[in-house]
Amino acid sequence: MDYYKDIFPDRPYLEDLDLRSFPESPAYIIDEQALERNLEILKEIKDKTDCKILLALKAFSNYKTFPLIKKYLDGCCASSLWEAQLAYEEFGKEVHTYSPSYRSDELNQISSYSNHIIFNSVQELKRYKASLKGTELGLRINPEHSETDVELYNPCSKFSRLGAKLADLEGLDIDAISGFHLHTLCQKGADALERTLAVFEEKFHKFLPKLKWLNLGGGHHITQVGYDKDLLMRLINKLKTKYDLQVYLEPGEAVAINTGSLLCTVLDTFESAGIHHAIVDISATCHMPDVLEMPYRPDIRGAGEEGQKKFSYRLGGTSCLAGDSIGIYSFEEELKRGDRLLFDDMSHYTMVKTSFFNGVRHPSIYLKDKSRRDVLLKKFTYEDYRSKL
C-alpha cells in the first residue's frame, strides 16, 4: 500500500482541513471536490468509448453522495438484496446484481430492483432462468488467469468459488443469457486487463458474438496516477468493434480512492517493554479492518515510518482485541493526550466494512462539500449499536 505515498502529491484532498478545529472525533471525512475529480476521469473513459460505468457498492455506498455520482455514472452493481434495494431507491439508474449464490426467497425481489442478474454457475442459471422473465441474465466467467498477488482478493485463485470455467459451459444455453461478467482484477492497471482479455478471448471467443454485453468487473485503478487510460480505451473499443458488445466497468475503489480520511484523537500514551504506545479513539478491527485482513499499514498525514522521525509509537485501538494494532509510526514531536491524527485514503472499502464490535463508538461521517463547508452526513448513536443486536 506504499503507492498512497507516491500518489498523494498528485491527488490532493482535504488540504484545507484544520484538525484542531474540526467539530468532532472520530470522523470519516469525504472531500466532495476530490470525489468529483475521480468522476470526471471516469467520464472521460465513458465519453471516448461509449462504455457504461457502474459504482460498486461493496467499495463505496455512501448514498448521500449519490446525487453527485449519478451525474457521471450509469448505475450501480450490487452483491445482495439490500445493496440492490439501495441502488434502486437511492441511485435510480441501472442496477446489476451478482452473488455467488441466491436465496430463492429473495430472488424475485432482487429481480424487481435489477436490470441484470448475474449467476455464478450454470446450474443456478438453469434453476432460476424460467422464473426471471423480463430481467436480463448473465453468467460470471472464471478465465483461470490470475493477476492478483494477495490470495484473499484473488478471484481466480486455484480453489476460487467465483465464476464458471470453460469446462463448466458444456451444454450452456447461450440464448438464456445476454452477457458475461468477468471480474479478475484488484488494484491493477490496464496492462493486467490486456493480458486477462487475451486469455479470455482465446477460451471463450465462440460465445462472444452471441452476447449483448460484457461486464469487465472492477479492480481497475483508472483514477490512479500513472494508469494507462489510453490502453484501457483501446481495449474497450476493440471489444465493441469486434463483437458488437456493450461494455461495462464496475469500479469501486477508482471512484473513491484519495477522496477522504479518518480523523482520530490520542487518548493515552505509555511505555511497555521498551515500546512507546499511543491509544487512539478508533479501532483497526472496528473501523479499518483491512489493516488486519490484508494486512497493510495506512498512512497518517505528516507521520513517517518507524524511526524515520524523532518519536516512534505503536498505535492501538480501543477494542479489547489483543491484536487491535494499526502499526508503528514516527512523529517530529512527542504525542500527547488530545493530539489529533489523520489517516489518509479511508473512503473506499473502509466505511462499508466497519462494525460495532465491543460497542466502540463509531466515527461520524462528514462531507467537506465544494463550498468547503463541513457537512455532517451521519452521526451514530447508542441506538444504532443497540438495534443491530
* Cis preceding-peptide flag for 12 (omega within 30 of 0): no
Report which DSSP code applies to 300: B
Is 40 part of any domain? no
Residues 337 and 382 in one domain: yes
Report which DSSP code applies to 362: P
The DSSP result for 14-42, as a single string, is STT--TTTSS-SSEEEEEHHHHHHHHHHH
253 assigned binding-site residue: yes
C-beta separation of 100 from 75 below 8 A: no
CATH number at residue 270: 2.40.37.10
CATH number at residue 177: 3.20.20.10
Measure the CA–CA gap between 84 and 49, rounded to whole angstroms. Answer: 26
Nearest to 248 by CA among 221, 208, 215: 215
Measure the CA–CA gap between 304 and 319, rounded to whole angstroms. Answer: 25
Show which of 221, 255, 289 is a domain's final residue: 255
pLDDT by position in tens, the chain (length 389): 333 344 455 779 999 999 999 999 999 999 999 999 999 999 999 999 999 999 999 999 999 999 999 999 999 999 999 999 999 999 999 999 999 999 999 999 999 999 999 999 999 999 999 999 889 999 999 999 999 888 888 999 989 999 999 999 988 999 999 999 999 999 999 999 999 999 999 999 999 999 999 999 999 999 999 999 999 999 999 999 999 999 999 999 999 999 999 999 999 999 999 999 999 999 999 999 999 988 889 999 999 999 999 999 999 999 999 999 999 999 999 999 999 999 999 999 999 999 999 999 999 999 999 999 999 999 999 999 999 98
Cα distances (angstroms) measured from residue 208 to each of 135, 204, 264: 20, 7, 50
Is 198 part of any domain? yes
Q: Is 55 exposed, middle or buried (0-12, 13-18, 19+ CB in 10 A)?
A: buried
Confidence (pLDDT) at 366: 98
Nearest to 261 by CA among 6, 8, 2: 8
Residues 221 and 291 in one domain: no
What are the two backbone dihedrals, phi and then psi, of residue 142, each rounded to the nearest 5 degrees? -110, 105
Show which of 255, 280, 305 is a domain's final residue: 255
Measure the CA–CA gap between 138 and 250, rounded to whole angstroms. Answer: 15
Is 219 part of any domain? yes
Show which of 239, 255, 271 is a domain's final residue: 255
Measure the CA–CA gap between 41 and 225, rounded to whole angstroms. Answer: 11
Residues 157 and 87 in one domain: yes
C-beta separation of 40 from 255 below 8 A: no
Residues 199 and 133 in one domain: yes
H/E element holding 204? helix 190-204
Show the beta-strand stretches assigned E in the chain.
Answer: 27-31, 52-56, 75-78, 94-98, 116-119, 136-141, 179-182, 213-215, 246-249, 260-272, 275-280, 311-316, 325-331, 340-344, 364-368, 374-378
Residues 248 and 300 in one domain: no
Is 112 part of any domain? yes
Estimate to the nearest angstrom the gap between the alpha carbon of 47 and the chain centroid.
Answer: 23
Measure the CA–CA gap between 236 and 247, rounded to whole angstroms. Answer: 7
CA gyration radius, the chain: 22
Residues 86 and 235 in one domain: yes
Is 36 part of any domain? no
Confidence (pLDDT) at 174: 94
Measure the CA–CA gap between 39 and 317, rounded to whole angstroms. Answer: 33
Estimate to the nearest angstrom the gap between the alpha carbon of 242 and the chain centroid.
Answer: 30
What are the two backbone dihedrals, phi and then psi, of residue 27, each rounded to the nearest 5 degrees? -160, 135
Residues 230 and 181 in one domain: yes
Is 325 part of any domain? yes
C-beta separation of 265 from 25 below 8 A: yes
Cα distances (angstroms) measured from residue 386 to each of 115, 237, 359: 35, 51, 9
Residues 11 and 113 in one domain: no
Residues 220 and 318 in one domain: no
**Residues contacting residue 295 through CB under 8 Å, at least 6 positions apart:** none
| Cell numbers found for residue 222 | 483508472
Residues 18 and 59 in one domain: no
Look up residue 53 and give its amino acid: I
Residues 148 and 56 in one domain: yes
Confidence (pLDDT) at 57: 98
User: What total number of domains does the chain contain?
Assistant: 2
The most distant pair of C-alpha atoms in the chain lies apart, rounded to whole Å, by 68
Is 155 part of any domain? yes
Is 42 part of any domain? no
Please calculate the CA angle 377-265-293 and round it to the nearest 5 degrees. Answer: 80
Domain that holds residue 235: 50-255
- The pTM for the full model equals 0.94
C-beta separation of 348 from 60 below 8 A: yes
Residues 247 and 295 in one domain: no
384 assigned binding-site residue: no
